[in-house]
Amino acid sequence: MRAFLSGVAVFGPGLPGWAASEAMLAGTAPWTMAEALPPVPAVLAPANRRRASAAVRFALAAADDASAEEPDRAALETIFASGNGDGAVVGGILDALHAPDEAVSPTLFHNSVHNAAAGYWHIAVGSTRPSLSLGGHDGAFAAGLLAAMTAAAHGRPVLLVAYDTPLPSPLAAKRPTGFAFATACVLRPDPGGARAELALRYLAGPLPAAAPGDALDALAEGNPAARALPLLRALAARRAALVRLPLLEDAHLELQVSPC
Amino acid sequence: MSPFSPMRISAGTVVTALGAGLGPLRAALQERRGGLAPCSFPGAPGGIWAGAVAGLEEAAPPPDLAVYDCRNNRLAELALRSDGFAAAVAAARDRYGPERVAVVVGTSTAGIEQTEQAYAARRPGETELPAAFDYGHTHDLQALPAYLRARLGLRGPGLVISTACTSGAQAILQAASLIATGMVDAAVAGGVDSLCRMTLHGFAALELLSAGPCRPCAEDRDGIAIGEGAGLVLLERPEAAAAGPLLLGAGASSDGHHMSAPHPEGLGAVAAMRAALAAAGIAPGEIDYVNLHGTGTRANDAMEDAAMHQVFGNAVPCSSTKGWTGHTLGASGAIEALIATICLEAGLVPGCLGIVAADPAFRSQVATGNRAMALRRVLSNSFGFGGSNCSLVIGQG
């Protein structure tokens, strides 16, 4: 499957948005570990911005940044991918269910659906285009990419957003996530204005062991959305690369990245 | 690539409150016998009804896959054992190769019920969860496709879609799209969702649960009865499998309106239905029956009637079958796709259960008794929180 990638975004530790991160990702400026603070998604109405959880803020800030150059963002289909979903919301409900009065907040409950971030995005930009939300555990980025490339292969431009934030205690001990991370990109079937062409293959075998990289490469292991880093670094350096992304324990995607 | 390539539903299976397999569901639809009962799920809110599945204590995963054991995967396991489904998938696996068969399934809760049990098992003052609790193989959304893939010996892509109550329908749409790209030759698709305290208390907090069996489209309807279940189909290219109904079209949309309230005029619902009709290349008049999302809430059913009237006028009979199964959330789109195949095969329009007449304010043609009539094509609607909408068109093979 092939598609053309235009806008791209990143928010993570020491990576505060694509413009500020591009040189670090390309390896031409030093990267240092720093806490990933929830960005402020300008696309959200102020009232929703204040109420939004960290997961929604990361997802929508990435979606906003990657699609900033799009003439009509409402025309894009969307794919949202997240291994953990919104842990603050689900954790809050689990705590409430096991408190003496068992009272679940109705707002928390409607925000607990895995497609809440997608719902807020479509409301914010006034889009009635189709949208999918996927899980995928550690392979969530690859799962989202596969779904987005499928849409592009059918001739439809699509916004892919991958995001994950650490789960709260006590779930965090069972499902550790090192830090918050979000990335997004716009994929389309035609090359107009593209940064790179992507060609994707599914391989039914485990991810081959990668050569040891630098500290920024090592970040990929800490968050499902950060598994996108090899792709993001190739895009920032504007170099051709063969990127391998974990999808399942015994399967991965091979992505040929060719700068346009 | 054409916008939509039809796919053969070469096998299907279902688990609902009516029992395991298509047979019990078909008999219940024909006999107008619902599966809802007063809710006895441990820790559920008082005074509600639900569509619980019996027999899950006998549906543990095989010993080598015991890490996946949770209520949601037991529902999936019960489905695999019914209707010869696992054998049909094994035949497809042998024909195409295990890496050429995908698993694309939907769920809204996955195995969160396992996490609820882990929370409840803590001693007073204890915060840590029990050592035996395995998040990744139960609560995690990916636990569902991972279990199905391992249990069926498949090596193709395994994807999980979670778009609230459209999950099962969206998974069928996405599986068909994936086959059309040529990456795989077949896909196990559908949805599974299990009763859990989170959804029961959550819908109770929203004041959306009915006091008795749900009565979609009734003038005095009072909400949802939550159900659980599984619906799975095996999709293949039409020319590759000789028998079985066809997925003729599918369409999705977003409301872009509100997180939990539907658009009052059903803008997104109309868009999804029209997209599905366009994908199938047919006019509204070529649909013979519409299986409504029909949850039984005041807002959903009024919105859906407005949307139905906009697309079909009052020319096409429609009904909700949630009076039989309850609202099985992320499984409902898949279970109702299988109900569509039953209706096609049996020549049956199952009128809404437990109501004498439709809400007099409704303008679409709501069926309230069973009708025997030849059906060529059925449209099935699913709508969900977050403003997600998906419609499927299923026709005679």
- Report how far residue A61's alpha carbon sits from residue A54's, in angstroms, rounded to the nearest whole number: 10
Spot the catalytic one: B165, B196, B318, B390: B165
Each residue's pLDDT tens digit, B184-238 = 999 999 999 999 999 999 999 999 999 999 999 999 999 999 999 999 999 999 9
Mean pLDDT computed over every residue of chain B: 97
**With an 8 Å Cβ cutoff, are B197 and A97 in contact?**
yes
**What percent of chain A lies above the pLDDT cut of 90?**
89
Q: Which of B227, B225, B222 is nearest to B213 (CA)?
A: B225
**With an 8 Å Cβ cutoff, are A128 and B255 in contact?**
yes
Distance (Å) from the C-alpha of residue B157 to the closest C-alpha of chain A? 8
- Amino acid residing at A76: L
Distance (Å) from the C-alpha of residue A26 to the closest C-alpha of chain B? 31
Residue A38 pLDDT greater than 90, yes or no = no
Distance (Å) from the C-alpha of residue A222 to the closest C-alpha of chain B? 16
For residue B267, which residues of chain A lie inside 8 Å, CB to CB? 128
Q: Which of B33, B36, B35, B32 is nearest to B19 (CA)?
A: B35
> How many C-beta atoms surround the C-beta of residue B367 within 10 A?
18
Is B327 noted as a catalytic residue in this protein?
Answer: yes
With bands split at pLDDT 50, 70 and 90, how would you rate the model's confidence at A243?
A: very high
Average confidence (pLDDT) over B109-120: 95
Q: Tell which CATH architecture fits domain B7-395.
A: 3-Layer(aba) Sandwich (3.40)
Please give the span between the terminal C-alpha atoms of chain A, in angstroms, as a whole number: 17
User: Looking at per-residue confidence, does A199 or A43 come out higher?
Assistant: A199
Each residue's pLDDT tens digit, A129-188 = 999 999 999 999 999 999 999 999 999 999 999 999 999 999 999 999 999 999 999 999
Each residue's pLDDT tens digit, B263-276 = 888 999 999 999 99
**What percent of chain B lies above the pLDDT cut of 90?**
96
For residue B142, which residues of chain A lie inside 8 Å, CB to CB? 83, 135-137, 139
For residue A102, which residues of chain B lie inside 8 Å, CB to CB? 43, 201
Contact residues for A177 (Cβ-Cβ < 8 A; gap 6+) = A83, A84, A164, A165, A166, A167, A222, A223, A224
Among B177, B202, B255, beta carbon nearest to A109: B202
**How would DSSP label each residue in chain A?**
-EEEEEEEEEEETTEESHHHHHHHHHTSS-------PPP--TTS-HHHHHH--HHHHHHHHHHHHHTTT-S-GGG-EEEEE-SS--HHHHHHHHHHHTSTT-PPPHHHHHHTSTTHHHHHHHHHHT--S-EEEE--GGGHHHHHHHHHHHHHHTT--EEEEEEE-PPPTTHHHHS---S-EEEEEEEESS-TT-SEEEEEEEESSPPPPPPP--HHHHGGGG-GGGGGHHHHHHHHHT--EEEEEEEETTEEEEEEEEE-
Spot the catalytic one: B327, B343, B352, B390: B327
Residue B1 pLDDT greater than 80, yes or no = no
3-state secondary structure of B344: helix
pLDDT for the residue numbered B261: 86
Each residue's pLDDT tens digit, A82-126 = 999 999 999 999 999 999 888 899 999 999 999 999 999 999 999
Structural domains in chain A, sorted by start: 2-259 (3.40.47.10)
Is B293 noted as a catalytic residue in this protein?
Answer: yes
For residue B273, which residues of chain A lie inside 8 Å, CB to CB? none
- Amino acid residing at B134: D
Mean pLDDT computed over every residue of chain A: 95
Torsion of CA B55, B58, B64, B67, to 10 degrees: 50
